[in-house]
Structure 1
Amino acid sequence: MTDSTQEPSGDLLLRTLAMPADTNTNGDIFGGWIMSQMDIAGGILAQQITAGAVVTVAVDSMKFISPVQMGDVVCCYGEMKRQGNTSLALHLEVWVRPRMSREKGSRPHSKVTEAVFTYVAIDENGVKRRIPRD
């Protein structure tokens, strides 16, 4: 279980609402839906860092800590872990705020998953390109 006093790592990249269409037969949100939100969030950060298009090439160390419920506010945070000449690795975390978070006894803001996503910078032809340096 995650310590509720812990704070997210990195910047807030994406915030969305878990909807009924995103649930599995247990009523929890599909892990694949959460992973796709992480990829969208990571792609936004990767494009900012690389100043252009990127593709996802790997997802490492995916850990699901606790389920996400329909109606939870899903927040994706991220930061760069390492950068190479053409690729970069981002550490991404998903935290949720329960839909009834202001009610007494409700679940706190908590981390539900994390992973390292690797992106490669590409040009307009889909060919690997160098990442510009500041």
Structure 2
Amino acid sequence: MSQGPLKAVPQLVSILLLAGVSLAVWTAWLGWDQHRDVQPDGTTTGPYEAWQVIGLVLALLVPVYWAASRRYIAGAVLGTTAGLTVAAYYDWSDDSSGLFMVGVGLIMVGSLAVTAVVSAIASAKRRVGRPRGH
């Protein structure tokens, strides 16, 4: 009896789980800050500070590394990318210029690249640390 479809279930669950984690982490680090700061010269910055983005990245390293080290590569890469892309779209979609889609695209491409690299490192570390014959 083939168990092919059953092997796909944990990968699908990992994708959904990492997408949910990514949405929650985005909300915790960035979702609450919608205020732009006006500088003395009249320019605006924000709404996020560098420490918030750094916190988001560091907080996501743990679940991405965990999933990838357990061979849930699809969850680590696709789930995290999907969660961050959806969060960015929802958070920025009130921009009337439409340029928010450029930012959403950059979030998607950047998170896809970074999670792929982190997943490759986590997967390689697991292979190196595994005893021969297993």
TM category (shorter chain) comes to 0.3 to 0.5
Q: Whose strand proportion is higher, 1 or 2?
A: 1
Q: Whose helix proportion is higher, 1 or 2?
A: 2
The TM-score, its normalising length taken from structure 2, stands at 0.37
Q: Could you say which structure has the larger radius of gyration? A: 2
The TM-score, its normalising length taken from structure 1, stands at 0.37
